[in-house]
Structures are given as structure tokens and as C-alpha cells.
Amino acid sequence: MAGMEGLAFVFLAGLVTDLATGLGALPFLAVDEISDRATVALWGVASGIMLAASVFGLAREGLAYSSGVPVLLVAGALVGVVLVEVSDRLLERLDIGGDDADVDGGAISPDVDPAAIATGDLRTLVLVLGVLTVHSFPEGVAVGVSFAELGLGGGIDVLGLAVPPLAVLMTVAISVHNIPEGLAVSIPLKAMGVDVRRMVGAAVFSSLPQPIGAVLAFAFVRVARAFLPFGFGFAGGAMIYLVLTEFVPDALEAGADLPYRGVPAFLAGALAGAAVMVPLLFVHVGP
């Protein structure tokens, strides 16, 4: 499969990961509050899955496409780390809930209220989407590069198409990874009295750039196949850095009132996630 059909299929996979973010808001249909322990454990599961997919999936696949010293793989990983760091700095400069523009403090917008994302304030949506495009791009890239061998022989039959095993696993991994992110978006909105339908919309909106990133990455590696190691390195480096700099701190913050700051719950979740993902990667992915 190639051309527009291939791009459409990859976009659909990216859209699945995007919509999975909305699942993070659905628990509020049944309960008014999610326990800190459950939140920490969910971050742990997502972290374990992403670390396993990055190391034993993306990095291993990148090494398989490298010859000699994996210069492109390492370079891609470094670029992925830089992009995540840049996106984090942009998000830090976004004045969430501020009353006035803080020029000296570096805020890039006045009065950016999280509720505006759910209620559809156009100015805020455009601003936040611009920042999220940078922030979510590596996740979309991880999906896109994993589809590099789409339709080129072998793979898992999905809707009558031969899909690379790594692509299936990465789509599932990113989808699971997005659920706690959707929960993190929904918790403050719940406190503001936003209804679940709009919480789901806000959560999905936060990952909207992922299908676009997936399509761009897929198109790039199909045209410039010599740069496949760079693509795998970029996605893997960005994902690992994202886990270390965002997932772990977010989990520790959520578990601040738990014994040992919730570290046991986080580690249990991480081990469970890795225990599920690693055997699948070794069975289905490899040179």
C-alpha cells in the first residue's frame, strides 16, 4: 500500500490514538473523583508501556536499519529530546488562568483559562493548539515511523491489509499512553464544573496534532528510507525523555499525599505495563 491510501490508513491510526485521550475523561461518568493511587498507577502503566516500546521496539528497529555505528539513530534521539524540551518550555510560558499579560514574566498570552478550551474560545483554542502541535508531534511521529513497512510484505492482517507488527503495538502503546494524559486534562475541568462531554472534547483536542504528525512522519520515511534510523531514534528518544520529565513528575505530584509519594503504586504500574508489552515486542518485532 502506498500513496493516498497509505496516508489515509496512517491518519486513521493517529486518529485512534487521539480519540483514546478522551477515554481519560470517561471515569467521571461514574465517579466524581479519581483516587490518587489509581492516578499514580495509571501513569505507571503508561510509563512502563512507553519505555518498553521505545527501547525494545523503536530503538531495536532503528538498530536493525542501521549499518555500522548508528549515527542517525543517535542523532534522531537527540533531536527528539530537544523537541520535547522546547515544547515544555513553551508550555511553561503559557499563562494558565492569568488575569493579565505578563510581558516581563514571559507569558505568551493573557487570561488563558483552561475552561476556555472546553467551552470553545477560538483565540485560546488556536493558541493552545499551536503549542500542543509541538508537544504532541513526537507521539504522532512514533506512530508514523512504525508504519514504514506498510504494504511492503508480511505483517498482521488488519481489515485485509498487511500492517507491520510494530505499527499495531505502537498504536496501542500510544493510545494507552494518552489515557492518563486525558485524565490529567479532565481533573481540573471537573473541578470547574465542566460536563463530561466537554471534558472528552478538551482531552481529544489536546492530542489533535498526533494524526498529522503520524502522516508527516510516514510520508517522510517512505520517501527518504535511508533516514529510517533517524525517525526511529527521534520517536524513541522523545518518548523516553517524555516519560522521565513528565510522566514520572506528574505521577509523583499526584501521589504527594500517599505513602512514599506513591512510588510503590507507580512502580507496580510500570512493571505491569512493561510485563505486557515486552513479550509482545520480542515475539512480533525484530530484524
- What pLDDT digit, counting tens, does each position of 4-50 carry? 888 889 999 999 999 999 998 898 888 878 888 999 999 999 999 99
The whole-number average pLDDT for the span 220-233 is 88
The reported pLDDT for the residue numbered 106 is 38
- Average pLDDT of the residues of the chain: 81
Query: What's the pLDDT band for 265 if we cut at 50, 70, 90?
Result: very high
The whole-number average pLDDT for the span 159-184 is 86
The reported pLDDT for the residue numbered 115 is 55
The reported pLDDT for the residue numbered 97 is 43
The reported pLDDT for the residue numbered 150 is 83
Is residue 134 scored above 80 in pLDDT? no
The reported pLDDT for the residue numbered 119 is 56
> Which has the higher per-residue pLDDT, 214 or 93?
214
Q: Please give the model's pTM, rounded to 2 decimal places.
A: 0.79
Domain ranges of the chain: 3-284
User: pLDDT (tens digit, 9 = 90+) per residue, 47-105?
Assistant: 999 999 999 989 988 998 888 889 999 999 999 999 888 877 766 665 444 444 343 33
User: pLDDT (tens digit, 9 = 90+) per residue, 231-252?
Assistant: 999 999 998 998 998 889 989 9
The reported pLDDT for the residue numbered 128 is 56
The reported pLDDT for the residue numbered 52 is 92
Query: What's the pLDDT band for 112 if we cut at 50, 70, 90?
Result: very low
The reported pLDDT for the residue numbered 105 is 37
DSSP states along the chain? --HHHHHHHHHHHHHHHHHHHGGGGGGGGT-S---HHHHHHHHHHHHHHHHHIIIIIIIHHHHHT--SS-HHHHHHHHHHHHHHHHHHHHHHTS-BT-SS--TTTT-SSS-B-HHHHHHT-HHHHHHHHHHHHHHHHHHHHHHHHHTTTTTSS--EEETTEEE-HHHHHHHHHHHHHHHHHHHHHHHHHHHTT--HHHHHHHHHHHTTHHHHHHHHHHHHHHH-GGGHHHHHHHHHHHHHHHIIIIIHHHHHHHTTTSGGGGHHHHHHHHHHHHHHHHHHHHHH---
The reported pLDDT for the residue numbered 267 is 95
